[in-house]
Copies of this chain bind each other. A is one copy, B any other.
Amino acid sequence: DFLRALDEVHPAFGVSEEELQQVIQNGIIHYDPVVDELLKTGILFVDQVRTSTRTPLVSILLHGPPGSGKTALGASIAQASEYPFIKLISPDNMVGFSESQKVTAITKVFTDSYKSPLSVVVVDNIERLIDWTPMGARFSNAVLQTLLVLFNRRPPKGRRLLIIATSSLRPILTDLGLSETFDSELRVPPISSLRALEYVVQEVELFPSEQQRRRAVRMLEDAGFGGRDDLTPKLQIGIKKLLGIVEMARQEPEAVAERLTSSLMDLR
C-alpha cells in the first residue's frame, strides 16, 4: 500500500528531515478513509508540479480545527514528494522575531527553493506567522503582504514549486484576501465517529486486554457516542487532543475506560 508506505519515506538530501520528523512524532494513523484521500490528493499535486511545464507554481491549503493533524499531513505529503528541496516554515522557529526578521526568514526559504528544479515549501500555521489575534483583529500586515506576493510569484524559468500551507482559521484567511491565492483547499476534519476513535485507541494500544477494550466501548456507547456507524457527529475531537487524552487515561491503569469516557464527555 503506497499511502501507508508514505510514513516511512525519507527524502535523500537538501531536506530538513529532522524538522519534518519532529512534527510527525506520533506517526499517521489511518483511522478514517479521509486520511488516505487527503494524502492521495496531495500526491496528485506533487505529480502535477513534477510533470506539467505550464504550471510551475501550485499552492494548496490544509485547513481544519485545531489539532486535527494538518501539520503532520502537510509534512507527510512533502516528505513523500522526494523532491530535492523540502522546507518547513514554522512559527516555532521564529519566536521573538521582529516583523522584518520574519519577512526575511520566510522570503529566504522561497528564494532558496528557486535554486532547486523541484521544491516543496510547507508554510505552517499561517495565523501564527502573521501574529493574528482576534481581539482588535491585529496582525502583521508586513508578513501578510509577503505571503500574498510569495504565494503568487512564479519561480524563475525552469524551476517548479509546490506550496503546502496550513491554518485553523480559514474564514480569517478569506477576510485577509489570502484564500483566493490557493489553487486548492483541502479540509482536514476532526474525528467524529466512534469507529475512528476505536481505531485510534487500538493502534496506540491503550487497553491491556480485549475485555477492557470492550468495556470502554460499551461505556462510550452508553454515554451517547452512538454505534459503530453513527453518522450524526456527537463527538468532535482532533487526533492531537485525542492522543493527549489517551495518555492521561493511561496514568490510571485500573480506570482507563472511565477516564477516557469522562475526558471525552468534558469536551462536549
Query: Taking beta carbons and an 8 Å cutoff, which residues of A are in contact with B?
Result: 22, 25-26, 44, 47-48, 51-52, 54-55, 58, 66, 91-92, 94-96, 98, 100, 103-104, 107, 128, 131, 133-139, 141-142, 144-146, 148-150, 153-154, 156-157, 175-177, 180, 183, 204, 243-244, 246-248, 250-251
Please indicate the chain B residues that have their CB under 8 angstroms from the CB of A100 in the complex.
96, 98
A128-B148, A251-B47 known; A135-B135 Cβ under 8 A: no
Residue of B nearest to A45 (CB): B248
Extra inter-chain contacts (15) besides given A26-B54, A133-B145, A135-B139, CB under 8 Å:
A25-B154, A47-B251, A54-B204, A54-B243, A66-B180, A92-B149, A95-B149, A95-B150, A96-B100, A131-B145, A133-B177, A134-B175, A135-B176, A136-B137, A183-B248
Query: In whole angstroms, how far apart are the Cα atoms of A232 and B153 in the complex?
Result: 33
Q: Is the CB of B176 within 8 A of A48?
A: no
Please indicate the chain B residues that have their CB under 8 angstroms from the CB of A149 in the complex.
91-92, 94-95, 128
Please indicate the chain B residues that have their CB under 8 angstroms from the CB of A244 in the complex.
55, 58, 183
